Structure 1
Amino acid sequence: MAARYSVVQTDLKTGSVLTELPVTGIGYTDTLNAAGTATVGMPLSAPEADPATLIVGSTGLAVLRNDAPVWGGIVWGAAADLAAGTLTLSASGFHSYYAHRFLDAKKGYTTTSNDQSLILKEWFAYANANGGIGTDTSTVTGTGHNRSRKWSFYEFKNMAEAIEEMADDLNGFNFRYEAHWIAGTGRRVGNRFRIARRGSAVFPQLEHRVNCNTTAVNYDGTQLATQAYAFGADLGTGAKPYASASNPALAGPRCVAVATYADTKTTASLIPKAAAMANVGSQPIAVPTLTLYPNLFTPSQFTPGAVGTVIADSGYVALFEEFVITERSVEVDANGTETVSLALASKDVFNADPG
């Protein structure tokens, strides 16, 4: 039986459902350690297309599957086609909000050798207490990996960027925002921030022409690195702190990867970044894209960051290995037909930590 999809408009600050939108098509994408996007079509002349309440930049959107929230975010754009009589809403996930929030406390921000989880909770608490969107961090628990961070007031560190950088460090984490019904409050959609150890979630085995259609496989060798260098901020003397890591057994000619983290001031903070760069550059990256066969799975079985085996054997393509889901896209047409597509990358090199 086909799933029933609907879309509700919400108050961004409280999560209260304002109305259900008369949609003509839905597409939503969840991207690993990023905001993700959604596109919703509706009639231009519908009463719900009210410019007084459907306001880009301050309106929330939630996609419901069988009345359960499966995607949530913020409407950042709207395109009205007067000739066709359609209105298309463009939204990004809740993480996009934090690209507009900064760690701008009067004294800046400093923490030394603190667990990643406690740093994240502190950042979100600051945003929530200063006009934020009420992101829930109650499920975020200790990771056992400490980090140090220091930014002055004048640096105005972007929160989304700070979260992404910490997630990308060696022994970092995968993160996502979960749209959910807030218990005991009627119909209010909340946003919950979740983190997970890399590789802790799994997805069912997928095989080309058995339960999926592998539409393409791209191979990328541009990130190969015999040696990786991560440089920090200029300390005012022309010198910069740096860290390096290597792949001495890498076949082929010597390749060097260099990245600069202009707001990082200590070598200790750069060591996990250099190690992560070297890990990604340890071998070419295979990037398959596939579409699931209908009615065999639900989208929730394929969360970005999850690991599973993909099998495909066709000419140049000979895959039988573990991959990480980097993006999950769901398209729902006017008839309610659901199409789920996945983009993946090799487990051993994409945001993975060594042994």
Structure 2
Amino acid sequence: MTAATYRVVHTDPSDGTIREDLTAVDGISFTETLNAEGAATVTVPLYAPEANPATLYPNGSGIAILRDEVPVWGGILRTLSADLNAGTLTLNSTGYHSYYKGRVWTGGYNSAGPRDQADLLASFIEGSWGGGIGTDTSRLTSSGRRRTRQWTKYEFKIVADAIEELAEDEGGFNFRYEPYWDAGRIAHRIIKSDLGGAPLPFSLVHLKNCDVTKVDYDGSNMATHTYAVGADVGNGSKLVGIAENAELAAVMPIKRVVATFQDLKETEELIGKAGALLNIGRAPVAIPTLTVYPGLYSPADFIPGDSGVVQVDSGYVALYDDFVITERKTDVNANGGETITLSLANRELFVNGQSS
């Protein structure tokens, strides 16, 4: 595989119009994180012509990264760091989802009865179009799973939180934001996919096509009983959803997990949340981190949410299981050389109990 050519552009965050190229880029690093905003860091010379504080500034500038002229990452510039000794300016951006952390329903929200997950997600986004970033929702597809959501204007519900909570429901989904060319600008859309994702067409084998640098094992979320506590019903009591894993309780001491969802007002919704917590807590989580051997694959081969076999045989670490990619980090040096690092988690966490 020949070295890719990277290009970084400064955009108008409201519509993706390209303002100018960032020339003489010294380093690029970008991360796409499952169901989150991700981040990018770009370093340019401090005295580059485009390093103009009148036009390039936090929250008023967008950044898009292109690989062989294909947009692979996009977001909003949040902070800058000028190193006068080194003569560099580092631009730190967060992905499009971070925008929705700053949008709040000041007038409340009411789904007016059960609606398909995709319709709810689209309404969350489309209700934020005014003065927003124009996220395209046309690729959202129906799931057949219907949900209800309601918040009063006094709750000041954050849109990003509403999106994440909808995705985390039992029988939920993964989401990501995808930049693309549209009439000479860098537009972007939100994509919803099934839990577990699409399968990779290859296995990731330690010391064959990747280096598995570490594997963390985490039992903190394991649970024999889960409780999802909801809104106060007005007399001092609260709604609660409960789930139990009798099989796990037979092989380990009782471990209860309690989570609060104070803006949920339906018992059925809380039972779904309790079920989702129970699915997460069925077994310890194995979290491999690996670096793909250079020249074999491109970043586009590893979409967060997709899954594949990871194989390791190194003492305590004996893995031959399906794992979901939870984060992909790409570092690009001055010569265009890429280093792709993946973080993964057990696929069972994402596919257990996909009820409607």
Pick the TM interval, shorter chain. Answer: over 0.9
Q: Deviations over 1:41-80 (max 9, x none)?
A: 0001101000011010121100000011000000011011
Q: Which residue of 2 aligns with 1:261?
A: 261
TM norm structure 2? 0.96
From 180, 185, 189, give the equivalent of 1:188.
Answer: 185
Q: Which residue of 1 aligns with 2:239?
A: 241
- Cα distance between partner residues in 2 of 1:96 and 1:246: 35
- Cα distance between partner residues in 1 of 2:27 and 2:281: 40
Q: Which residue of 1 aligns with 2:229?
A: 231
Contact map agreement 2:197 2:324 (CA 8 A) in 1: no
Q: Which residue of 2 aligns with 1:200?
A: 197
Measured on the aligned residues, the alpha-carbon RMSD in Å equals 1.1
- Cα distance between partner residues in 2 of 1:119 and 1:103: 14
- Cα distance between partner residues in 1 of 2:110 and 2:12: 30
Q: Quick one: which amino acid aligns to residue 127 of structure 1?
A: S
Contact map agreement 1:25 1:40 (CA 8 A) in 2: yes
Instruction: Report sequence identity in percent.
Output: 48
Correspondence 1:353 to 2:352? yes
Q: Which residue of 2 aligns with 1:74?
A: 76
- Cα distance between partner residues in 2 of 1:167 and 1:61: 26
Q: Deviations over 1:213-240 (max 9, x none)?
A: 0000000011110001100012221111
From 40, 55, 58, give the equivalent of 1:56.
Answer: 58
- Cα distance between partner residues in 1 of 2:4 and 2:259: 45
Q: Partner of 1:41: helix, strand, or coil? A: strand
Q: Partner of 1:275: helix, strand, or coil? A: helix
Q: Quick one: which amino acid aligns to residue 193 of structure 1?
A: I
Q: Partner of 2:122: helix, strand, or coil? A: helix
Correspondence 1:93 to 2:90? no
> 1:212–1:65: structure 2 CA closer, same or farther, 3 Å change rule?
same
Contact map agreement 2:124 2:163 (CA 8 A) in 1: no
Q: Quick one: which amino acid aligns to residue 353 of structure 1?
A: N
- Cα distance between partner residues in 2 of 1:109 and 1:77: 35
- Cα distance between partner residues in 2 of 1:35 and 1:175: 10
- Cα distance between partner residues in 2 of 1:126 and 1:266: 23
Q: Quick one: which amino acid aligns to residue 17 of structure 1?
A: I
Contact map agreement 1:280 1:352 (CA 8 A) in 2: no
Q: Partner of 2:231: helix, strand, or coil? A: coil
- Cα distance between partner residues in 2 of 1:314 and 1:50: 51
Q: Quick one: which amino acid aligns to residue 216 of structure 2?
A: N
- Cα distance between partner residues in 2 of 1:110 and 1:298: 41
- Cα distance between partner residues in 1 of 2:348 and 2:15: 41
- Cα distance between partner residues in 1 of 2:111 and 2:142: 19
- Cα distance between partner residues in 1 of 2:272 and 2:198: 23
Q: Quick one: which amino acid aligns to residue 15 of structure 2?
A: T
Once the two structures are TM-superposed, the CA of residue 245 in structure 1 deviates from its matched residue by 1.0
Contact map agreement 1:109 1:153 (CA 8 A) in 2: no
Contact map agreement 2:111 2:120 (CA 8 A) in 1: no
Q: Which residue of 2 aligns with 1:154?
A: 154
Once the two structures are TM-superposed, the CA of residue 89 in structure 1 deviates from its matched residue by 0.5
Once the two structures are TM-superposed, the CA of residue 307 in structure 1 deviates from its matched residue by 1.1
Once the two structures are TM-superposed, the CA of residue 336 in structure 1 deviates from its matched residue by 1.2
Once the two structures are TM-superposed, the CA of residue 354 in structure 1 deviates from its matched residue by 2.5
- Cα distance between partner residues in 2 of 1:316 and 1:111: 53
- Cα distance between partner residues in 2 of 1:340 and 1:136: 28
Q: Deviations over 1:95-120 (max 9, x none)?
A: 00000011223x54343211011111
- Cα distance between partner residues in 2 of 1:218 and 1:27: 24
Q: Quick one: which amino acid aligns to residue 293 of structure 2?
A: Y
- Cα distance between partner residues in 2 of 1:79 and 1:320: 43
Q: Partner of 2:258: helix, strand, or coil? A: strand
Q: Quick one: which amino acid aligns to residue 282 of structure 2?
A: S
Q: Partner of 1:64: helix, strand, or coil? A: strand
Q: Partner of 1:231: helix, strand, or coil? A: strand
From 219, 222, 240, give the equivalent of 2:220.
Answer: 222
- Cα distance between partner residues in 2 of 1:237 and 1:157: 23
List structure 1 runs of 4+ shifted beyond 4 angstroms.
none
- Cα distance between partner residues in 2 of 1:276 and 1:113: 19
Contact map agreement 1:29 1:327 (CA 8 A) in 2: yes
Structure 1 gap ranges (5+)? none
- Cα distance between partner residues in 1 of 2:15 and 2:147: 32
Q: Partner of 1:282: helix, strand, or coil? A: coil
Once the two structures are TM-superposed, the CA of residue 84 in structure 1 deviates from its matched residue by 1.1
- 1:265-344 pair list within 5 angstroms: 265-344=265-344
Q: Which residue of 1 aligns with 2:170?
A: 170
Once the two structures are TM-superposed, the CA of residue 246 in structure 1 deviates from its matched residue by 1.4
Contact map agreement 2:170 2:272 (CA 8 A) in 1: yes
